[in-house]
Structure 1
Amino acid sequence: MKIGRDFISLSHGKEIRMKKTCLLRMYRDDQEIADAAEKFRNETGVVPVIID
């Protein structure tokens, strides 16, 4: 999972069967992105990568 200023990207599967979904979402600031990443980690156990 990756979180950027204007999207959330989810990938799953292996190699040729990899599936990727990109959700458009605008975050106002870095704190809002960090809060979303922390909430996702707490609820799913998956640690998101925050990118610029």
Structure 2
Amino acid sequence: MLYYALLFLVIALIAAALGFGGIAGASAGIAKIIFFVFLLFLVVSLVMGLLRRG
């Protein structure tokens, strides 16, 4: 049990270092861009699927 506690402590310290370093904000911005790109791909594929049936 002590092993897991120390393991989670190390993971938390690494996550805190990355989060306080500004990397989290940049990652969130990239994630938003990727989300909208794939949302656009979804809409295009739905429209193309509807046009093929008709």
Give the TM-score normalised by structure 1.
Answer: 0.32
Higher relative contact order (CA 8 A, sep 6+): 1
Name the structure where helix makes up a greater proportion of residues: 2
Q: Considering only CA atoms, is the larger Rg found in Structure 1 or Structure 2?
A: 2
Name the structure where strand makes up a greater proportion of residues: 1
Give the TM-score normalised by structure 2.
Answer: 0.31
